[in-house]
Amino acid sequence: MAGGLAEVDPYPSWNEMRKASRKLFRRLGELRDLQVLQDWLNRLSDETDPVRQALGEVFTAREPELKDQVSKAIAAFDRAQWMLWSRTLPDRARRLVPDGLVAQHLALQRWEEARALHRRALRNRNPASWHALRIGIKRFRYTAENFLPGKYVSWAADLKHIQDLLGDVHDLDVLSEALREAGPALDDAAEARWRAAIDHERIPRLDEYRARMAGRNSLWSVWRSGLLRDERLEDAAIAKLTLWAMALDPETAHSRQVARLALELFDGLAAAGFNGTLSLPRARVLLHAAALLHNVGRSETAKGHHKASYRLIAALDPPLGWTREEIERVAVVARYHCGAEPREKHTAYAALTPEARSFVRTLAGLLRVADALDDTHDSTVRRLEVRPHPEYVLIRALGWPETEQSAAIIGGRKHLLESAIGRPIIVRAAILRDATVLTRPAPRAVSIVAD
């Protein structure tokens, strides 16, 4: 659960909690594994079997040491810190609404990861790949249980059974490796007998797994049909990025206002015939993300926060359907929402191709103007209208206070966009009787809490 929450909330305590619990559960797991091996020994042979006797002695001798390690891990466990987390983290956890868009995105991510491990296991068919698959399905199961309770009710039995099948396969594979510890008792005849006994239990479990997890009507298909639909994937990606930004951005209302204004500028210029970057299929989505995330660097510093925003965004794992390159583009665009314009001496910008530089300059130009229009951070601008003229572009802003100070702010921030579209920009306040501005619909908002 903490692993999923850490993806949308970079609060350090989530990973600290995972590390603290991992140390204890690792020791408990080692003891549990030994006890499971002892149980399989008893199930696969009788008391007179020399291999069972030899391995039983090995396992019995190892058990006190493992119990001692568990006792030490329990004693070292920081209960006070855990109690503190139990009081402070629930409020943060509630930001991720069960069964909502972000929860569905996380579950689909785990499904994709487990499905890839399934394909690899069927291809490689070795113990390591089956074990990795078991862990992948376990993560998907726990993600569904914690974040998709509405779906998990009908999936729980199948998920647990599949996990148990692969768990038994893993235990049998560990036992197979442990046979060599039987020493002289494991002669050729004994080894052949034990390998056959292990295969007798292992192969039917793998056969059942394949029967239930292959084909068009497999459990993979059942689970996928209950997850995020493809047409909502983009909304979910933006919702996930938005939730992540909320944990860092001290002024999320400002960032959402800037995102709205940036998209209105984008749509207005695109409708006016300014193509190039504005005609690229992913440009609007990446501008939306950059605007929503542009202020996250303020969680680290006020001065130079645009550079901190770049570092934080560039380190993100791409949402489903996104590429690493697209996240890097979002980071670079957000980096130039204020401060100096892009220059070749800037490392990230210099690494871009000429086409990518043009892309960044155009989107960053839109973001700079949108950010300047809400320089007071009070969301007074209600609508924008773009009116192209042969010699310039007029932007009329409803609610914008057209003062000497606000005009100076816009004047200092519009150059990048002017150079990108090849035309001067004039910003004027709109008047209330302008029906065109008043009735222009706002860009569709993405809910981060519901499907």
DSSP 314-372: HTSPPPTT--HHHHHHHHHHHHTSSSSPP-TTSHHHHTS-HHHHHHHHHHHHHHHHHHH
Residue at 309 is within a domain: yes
Contact call for residues 358 and 342 (beta carbons, < 8 A): no
- pLDDT above 50 for 162: yes
Q: What's 443's DSSP letter?
A: P
For residue 320, give its domain range: 233-439
Q: How far, in Å, CA of 183 to CA of 165, rounded? A: 30
List phi, psi (to 5°) of 393. -120, 130
CATH number at residue 272: 1.10.3210.10
Residue among 210, 8, 9 nearest 109 (CA): 8
- Containing 397, the helix (H) or strand (E) segment is strand 393-398
Residue among 15, 4, 2, 8 nearest 241 (CA): 8
- Containing 104, the helix (H) or strand (E) segment is helix 101-124
Residue at 317 is within a domain: yes
Tokens of 153: 């009710």
pLDDT in tens, 235-249: 999 999 999 999 999
Residue among 363, 449, 335, 451 nearest 8 (CA): 449
Residue at 188 is within a domain: no
Stretch among 164-173, 193-202, 227-236 having the lowest mean pLDDT: 227-236
Sorting pLDDT into bands at 50, 70 and 90, what band is 432? low
Contacts of 310 (CB under 8 A, 6+ apart): 297, 331, 332, 334, 335, 348
Residue at 69 is within a domain: no
CB atoms within 10 A of CB 224: 14
Residue 261, by phi and psi: left (phi above 0), alpha (psi -120 to 50) or beta?
alpha
Residue 38, by phi and psi: left (phi above 0), alpha (psi -120 to 50) or beta?
alpha
Average pLDDT, the chain: 91
Q: What percent of the chain stands above pLDDT 90? A: 78
- pLDDT above 90 for 447: no
Side-chain-facing half-sphere of 399: CA atoms under 13 Å: 16
The domain total for the chain is 1
- pLDDT above 90 for 441: no
Segments of 34-137 assigned E as strands? none
Instruction: Work out the angle at residue 276's Cα, subtended by the Cα atoms of residues 272 and 279, and round it to the nearest 5 degrees.
Output: 70
Instruction: Determine the straight-line distance between the first and last CA of the chain, rounded to whole angstroms.
Output: 21
Whole-model pTM: value is 0.86
Q: How far, in Å, CA of 104 to CA of 97, rounded? A: 10
Q: How far, in Å, CA of 159 to CA of 155, rounded? A: 6
Sorting pLDDT into bands at 50, 70 and 90, what band is 436? low
Residue at 428 is within a domain: yes
Burial class, 341, CB count within 10 angstroms (exposed 0-12 / middle 13-18 / buried 19+): middle
Residue among 150, 142, 140, 152 nearest 213 (CA): 140
Residue at 351 is within a domain: yes
Q: What's 299's DSSP letter?
A: G
Side-chain-facing half-sphere of 5: CA atoms under 13 Å: 22
The separation between CA 23 and the C-alpha centre of its own chain, rounded to angstroms, equals: 24
Contact call for residues 386 and 268 (beta carbons, < 8 A): yes
Burial class, 57, CB count within 10 angstroms (exposed 0-12 / middle 13-18 / buried 19+): middle
- pLDDT above 50 for 120: yes
Residue at 370 is within a domain: yes
Residue among 283, 307, 444 nearest 360 (CA): 283
Tokens of 132: 């990795």
Q: 434 or 417: which carries more pLDDT confidence? A: 417
Provide the pLDDT for residue 146.
Answer: 93
Residue at 435 is within a domain: yes
- Containing 421, the helix (H) or strand (E) segment is helix 415-421
- The C-alpha R_g of the chain, in whole angstroms, comes to 29
For range 407-424, the mean pLDDT = 94
- Written as one letter, the residue type at 293 is L
- Written as one letter, the residue type at 111 is W
Q: How far, in Å, CA of 222 to CA of 155, rounded? A: 9
